[in-house]
Amino acid sequence: MKVPFGAMTITPHARDLVNKALDSTRVSGGQYVHEFEDRFAKLVGVRHAVALSSGTDADILAMAVLYDFGAHRGDEIIVPALSFVATGNAVLHAGFKPVFVDIKRETLNIDPEKIEAAITKKTRAIMPVHLMGKPAPMEAINAIAKKHKLFVIEDAAEAHGAVYKGKNVGLWSDMAAYSTYVAHIITTIEGGIVTTNREDFAEILRSLRAHGRACKCDVCVVNTNSGYCAKRFKYGKDIRFVFERVGYSAKMNELEAAIGLGSLTLYHKIIEKRRHNLLTMIERLKEFDQYLTTIEEEKDERIGPHAFPIVVKEGAPFTRDEFVSFLEKNGIDSRDLFSSMPTQCPGFSFLGYKLGDFPNAEFMGTQGLHIGVHQDINDEHIDYVMDTIRAFLKSQ
């Protein structure tokens, strides 16, 4: 049996929209992108959503908004040491310095008790990551941010459908950055989106994604229906060539948005299926708790069912890589549970951190993995995964 890590569902509705976009010859951002933004915002429960070319760009542009509010290049953003490398990369690409904080092993998320020690006069924001869809401790994080007058940006790349203390992830911050990459619950193949309740943030995000242009209306009449724009010569010259800030080229296109609109039609069904798979795996892994552990869904949260993390405990008579190799040989695809960005990713070595600075993140970097819980997995697959784990442990 094969158990692939990810799956993608392209609906007939999405195929129809793609063909309509191709027939219209309007394939850059237009009415489908706007519709995707509007429906995504309603799903999260926010006023605004700005669609972008990747989840990494979503992080980057959310941070770049802060330059309009007094931030300077070289200022600091606090992030967890454990995440997909895109989180740390985004801070640097936005022109800031990442300041890393260790995680709690049982949650995989930033340890709020270690945040204040990392705050300096140059700190501008805290960017928690809801890793594996498990909500970060947002109440504690927001209390710290309020005390020190910092912005909060949620990296919700993996947190579609996550809920913390009765509120959707994405509602706990100034902005939230999502990925709509191919393996995620809502997918546009490649893509990302930033949500916010602040209209001024949304306008800046629209400017930033298009090279910093002064064009930043919620609905662009030129792009959506090729209509006349009364604002076009507002500044005495073509507004499309007035650049208010240093920007990026980070727009989502119509074909990607069409795929995303199809994905949204199945959102609740996919969430339900993936949550069944995740919660079933969490419960069944307890059979092997002598050597393996995972996250738990606590009473005040709903984990966004991104993937199923497995951690090899200290003292196990085998390594994570030996375990992964056995899974792979038996058709079960997996991924490492990322790495400590500052100490296990060579690209960050110039920042001067040393191995041992983030012991919990580093532990996950050597002991953790994750496998799929996607909508194409059924109970038979789960049985096979558990049988394979059982066979491996018996061989040790």
Is residue 216 within 8 A of residue 206, CB to CB? The reply is yes
pLDDT at 219: 72
pLDDT at 191: 97
For 236-280, give the DSSP string: SS-GGG-B-S---B-BPPHHHHHHHHHHHHTHHHHHHHHHHHHHH
Element (H, E) at 164: strand 163-164
Express each pLDDT in 327-340 by its tens digit.
999 999 999 999 99
pLDDT at 300: 95
Residue 1 clears pLDDT 70, i.e. is over it: yes
Mean pLDDT score, 76-89 = 98
Domains of the chain from N-terminus onward? 12-265 (3.40.640.10), 267-394 (3.90.1150.10)
Nearest to 334 by CA among 360, 358, 359, 312: 312
pLDDT at 64: 98
Longest dimension (CA), the chain: 76
In whole angstroms, what is the distance from residue 128 CA to residue 150 CA? Answer: 13
CA 334-395-313 angle, 5° bins? 55
Residue 226 clears pLDDT 70, i.e. is over it: no
pLDDT at 267: 96
Long-range (24+ apart) CB contacts under 8 A made by 342-347 are: 342/81, 342/88, 342/98, 342/100, 343/81, 345/85, 345/88, 347/85, 347/89
Residue 225 clears pLDDT 80, i.e. is over it: no
Is residue 35 within 8 A of residue 254, CB to CB? The reply is no
Q: Who wins on pLDDT, 233 or 154?
A: 154
pLDDT at 222: 59
Mean pLDDT score, 187-211 = 97
In whole angstroms, what is the distance from residue 74 CA to residue 96 CA? Answer: 5
Percent of the chain with pLDDT over 90: 89
pLDDT at 77: 98
Name the token pair of 307: 């993937």
| Dihedral sign, Cα of residue 154, residue 157, residue 158, residue 162 | positive
In whole angstroms, what is the distance from residue 98 CA to residue 78 CA? Answer: 6
In whole angstroms, what is the distance from residue 49 CA to residue 16 CA? Answer: 24
**What b/e sequence results for 50-84 when a residue is b if at least 16 CB atoms lie within 10 Å of its CB, and e otherwise?**
bbbbbbbbbbbbbbbbbbeeebeeebbbbbbbbbb
Q: pLDDT band for position 215 (50/70/90)?
A: confident
pLDDT at 170: 97
pLDDT at 338: 97
According to DSSP, the residues that pair with 103 across neighbouring strands are 110
Long-range (24+ apart) CB contacts under 8 A made by 161-164 are: 161/133, 161/185, 161/267, 161/271, 161/275, 161/302, 161/304, 161/305, 162/130, 162/133, 162/134, 162/135, 162/301, 162/302, 162/303, 162/304, 163/135, 163/301, 163/302, 164/135, 164/136, 164/138, 164/300, 164/301
Q: Which of 130, 184, 374, 381 is catalytic?
A: 184
CB under 8 Å to 68, separation ≥6 — which residues?
200, 204, 245
Is residue 133 within 8 A of residue 304, CB to CB? The reply is yes
CA 85-51-79 angle, 5° bins? 30
In whole angstroms, what is the distance from residue 320 CA to residue 327 CA? Answer: 11
Express each pLDDT in 280-309 by its tens digit.
999 999 999 999 999 999 999 999 999 999
Is residue 294 within 8 A of residue 285, CB to CB? The reply is yes
In whole angstroms, what is the distance from residue 152 CA to residue 244 CA? Answer: 24
Residue 87 clears pLDDT 90, i.e. is over it: yes
Residue 228 clears pLDDT 80, i.e. is over it: no
Q: pLDDT band for position 216 (50/70/90)?
A: confident
pLDDT at 234: 73
Nearest to 159 by CA among 142, 173, 179: 179
- 214: DSSP letter: S
In whole angstroms, what is the distance from residue 369 CA to residue 387 CA? Answer: 18
pLDDT averaged over the chain?
95
pLDDT at 172: 98
Express each pLDDT in 50-82 by its tens digit.
999 999 999 999 999 999 999 999 999 999 999
Give yes or no: 34 in active site. Answer: no
pTM of the model as a whole: 0.95
Burial class (CB in 10 A: 0-12, 13-18, 19+), 186: buried
SS3 content of the chain, % helix, strand, coil (to 5): 40, 15, 40
pLDDT at 15: 95
Is residue 99 within 8 A of residue 76, CB to CB? The reply is yes
Residue 227 clears pLDDT 70, i.e. is over it: no
Express each pLDDT in 120-143 by its tens digit.
999 999 999 999 999 999 999 999
